[in-house]
Amino acid sequence: MGFFYKKQKKVVIPPVWEITPACLSLIFECAKSSYPNEFGGFLRVDVANKYRIIELELLPGTISGDSSAIFHLHMLPIDFSVVGTVHSHPRGPPLPSGADLDLFDKFGRVHIISAAPYSESTWKAYDFRGNEIHISVLE
């Protein structure tokens, strides 16, 4: 009689994302200064900790409008510490639109949306599929 092996399911543990208070504060200030237009930028992680967001990168040539921020991705330098995007929603909740979901699917692993009035209670984070994820704010 032969042996039967039960195929085990692979368990995927999602990463534990973190963000520095200074980076989150800069996101809020950039969003406030762009109001009533959308603000957009890129998230950069610490090289030693690939899940700790430490910097915001602003891309030259980004066009901010009242309902969108248009990136010229060809202007983004090749930099493997850039892991996703951030943008604001001047009107409405921090929920991804169809255009946001298209961008999430094409670029990056983590995305932040900050909604007016741009505070600790009005932002959310998403993975590349548009699923809400948790990002811990470091102390």
Question: Per the domain annotation, does 101 fall within a domain?
Answer: yes
> pLDDT of 33-69, one tens digit each?
999 999 999 999 998 999 999 999 988 767 777 777 7
Helices (H) and strands (E) in the chain, counts: 2, 10
Q: How far apart are CA 88 and CA 131, in angstroms?
A: 18
The total of structural domains in the chain comes to 1
Question: Per the domain annotation, does 113 fall within a domain?
Answer: yes
Whether pTM exceeds 0.75: yes
Question: Per the domain annotation, does 8 fall within a domain?
Answer: no
Q: For residue 47, what is the domain's CATH number?
A: 3.40.140.10
Which residue range is the domain that position 23 belongs to?
Answer: 17-69+83-134
Question: Per the domain annotation, does 7 fall within a domain?
Answer: no
Name the residues annotated as catalytic.
38
> pLDDT of 76-111, one tens digit each?
788 899 999 999 999 989 999 999 999 999 899 999
CA-based max dimension of the chain: 73
Look at residues 12, 139, 103, 137 and name the one whose alpha carbon lies nearest to residue 126: 103
Question: Per the domain annotation, does 35 fall within a domain?
Answer: yes
Question: Per the domain annotation, does 56 fall within a domain?
Answer: yes
Question: Per the domain annotation, does 12 fall within a domain?
Answer: no
pLDDT grade for 9, boundaries at 50, 70 and 90: confident
* CA separation, residue 34 to residues 29, 84, 94, 98, 118 (Å): 9, 20, 16, 22, 11
